[in-house]
A and B are shown apart, each in its own frame.
Chain A
């Protein structure tokens, strides 16, 4: 197991290096930040000074090597727009996105898996059919539209919940979180609900398909013949047998939502990284874009690694194969 993790970490280094090259060239191709940074009526002298100050007069390969050199020292550079270290900027926004994403993915799983298992256990029941109909809705209706409907219904018409922002926050481990205060929780609810609908539908479908399949196997028949109750069979046997695809999708959804919750963050003015990256693309804030995309790649690598470790914990057959 330890050997496996070391091997994966080495792989991760190579992947990160390739990503950094791709991202750096890609962002270079997007546009010249100077046109945005300097007012059009600046003199030629100021223009050249600024270009030199940012190192933009160097050829691409030289700029990339300088970037790598700073990276080794843990320096991602400074934002052109905010004029502060990029990492500080991203990490000041990350907790907001993190709590939003976690609330959405955990909520969707905690609700979607049991309901999906029920729908797979009693596929003909009216409740199962209602769950499946709802899940089709979750799949097919676009997120931004649901977001607007949620705001209109719960914030504008009923006035039960706030329409945007994080609300009050409280500190934990020196970071500000919304979910620690009642007011913040109220602010978190609608955007998290908005983000979770699609994931909920996904989890329902996965759990239903898995349960239907497992219920027909001899494992379940044998457990029934031994006198196990249906509840025990579902909780102890079926849930364990359908866990692997669920964990996989959980990881993927967690990663992609963390990186790209842009639409929901924009609609609910949630001050997370999704909004930050959209803003920095429109202002051509290169260091922010590069650092952010590399961070996203890093998150995905870490999430995939955790998912693989979880596989081994969930399925003993994978453990021995790796040890052999």
Chain B
């Protein structure tokens, strides 16, 4: 096992809204080893993106981290000054977003945007900075990078645009990249391409990744370990093959059941009944309880995260290891 790069412990991020305060992320703990790709899965509103932004220290008011710690190579990031966080972002941890046509600035050339990202961390000469940009663009698979660098984002296709965004994230050679659904907005064929390329790029550069997605299938093709979030809490974690084969939390099994690839042809997909509760008005105890077929009186208390080897889950009635779906 490689040494631990990122250690998130008891992270809790709270948003004060007009309707009351809510914990978008509550008591989330996990680690990412150097060079490891970890998948973070959950529905919209489960807190997976907020977890990513919390790690980067990019939570805007009215939100803030109220508890927990985020350690990068042993250095505590929670509570760092704005300036220290800014210089950490991009250089040690970078982030890629869902829609490249929204993240790239339409009125600046690719070169300008890349040079701004370099200039945020070091002062390179004109020629050196340009050479670095071209090199990284080439590495993410942009053909004819030396010429294309002068183009504007709208002159690229969706897949190429996302490659540019990935190149910007890679520019300062970060040790960790948080990928917030970077393939969701792309065509399916391009998705697969980018997935494969990012996986091999990460392996080649030794960059660790947190791959945030609502799509189990995508995550299972890149990540070695998976974290499942529900209503702001981590409810199951473990090596991806084991979790997919034998989910211990009923919610994880529900997610798996709703995958088209796993259901038999002609059969309806299994749906999880109901919807995720509002974070402002969570049920007593386990948040999944109202939708769970196994729920009983015990579920009115919050189950602890119990560990079994490399796996952990938060459930009073874990699915037995034998009852594989």
Contact = CB atoms under 8 A, between A and B. Distances in A.
Q: Do A and B bind each other?
A: yes
Interface residues of B, number: 35
Nearest to B169: A226
Secondary structure dominating the interface of A = helix
Contact of B120 (A222, A229, A317): A229
Given A217-B102, A218-B97, A240-B108, A226 B120 contact: yes
A320 B116 CA distance: 24
Given A222-B97, A224-B58, A241 B91 contact: no
Interface in A156-178: none
Q: Which 5 A-B pairs have the closest CB atoms?
A: A227-B90, A225-B95, A222-B103, A226-B90, A218-B102
B103 A218 contact: yes
A314 interface: yes
Interface in A277-324: 314-317, 320
B86 A222 contact: no
B95 A232 contact: no
Nearest to B52: A225
A116 B266 CA distance: 59
Nearest to B87: A227
B302 interface: no
Contacts of B209: none
B152 A232 contact: no
A317 B116 contact: no
B108 A226 contact: no
A237 B116 CA distance: 10
A226 B87 contact: no
Contact of A236 (B103, B116, B172): B116
A237 B165 CA distance: 15
A228 B120 contact: yes
A236 B108 contact: yes
A276 B305 CA distance: 84
Contacts of B56: 225
21 contacts: A217-B102, A218-B97, A218-B99, A221-B103, A222-B95, A223-B116, A224-B58, A224-B86, A225-B89, A226-B90, A226-B94, A226-B117, A226-B172, A227-B87, A227-B121, A228-B86, A232-B119, A315-B106, A316-B106, A316-B107, A317-B152
B212 interface: no
A164 B172 CA distance: 60
B24 to A, nearest CB: 16
B317 interface: no
Contacts of B276: none
Nearest to A232: B116
Interface of A: 217-219, 221-229, 232, 236-237, 240-241, 314-317, 320
A240 B107 contact: yes
Contacts of A222: 95, 97, 103-104, 165, 168
A315 B108 CA distance: 9
A243 to B, nearest CB: 8
A219 B102 CA distance: 6
Interface in B45-75: 56, 58
Contacts of B104: 219, 222
A227 B107 CA distance: 20
A316 B110 CA distance: 12
Contacts of B284: none
B278 interface: no
A219 B101 CA distance: 9
A240 to B, nearest CB: 5
Nearest to B118: A226
Contacts of A317: 106-107, 152, 154
Contacts of B169: 225-226
A225 B165 CA distance: 11
Nearest to A228: B120
B224 interface: no
Contacts of A320: 154-155
Contacts of A224: 58, 86, 89
A223 B56 CA distance: 12
B246 to A, nearest CB: 36
A241 B117 CA distance: 18
B107 A241 contact: yes
B155 A232 contact: no
Contacts of A241: 105-107
Contacts of A237: 105, 108
A219 B103 contact: yes
B152 A316 contact: yes
B33 interface: no
A237 B104 CA distance: 10
A223 B58 CA distance: 11
Interface centre among B88, B98, B109, B152 (most CB of A within 10 A): B152
Interface centre among A228, A314, A315 (most CB of B within 10 A): A228
A123 B87 CA distance: 26
Contacts of A232: 116, 119-120
A227 B120 CA distance: 6
Interface centre among B90, B116, B165, B169 (most CB of A within 10 A): B116
A228 B117 contact: yes
Nearest to A314: B107
A236 B112 CA distance: 9
Nearest to A227: B90
A241 B87 CA distance: 25
A172 B135 CA distance: 52
A228 B154 CA distance: 22
B86 A229 contact: yes
A124 to B, nearest CB: 9
Contacts of B102: 217-219
Given A316-B154, A320-B155, A227 B86 contact: yes
Contacts of B87: 227
Contact of B172 (A217, A219, A227, A229): A227
A227 B116 CA distance: 9
B83 to A, nearest CB: 9
A236 B89 CA distance: 18
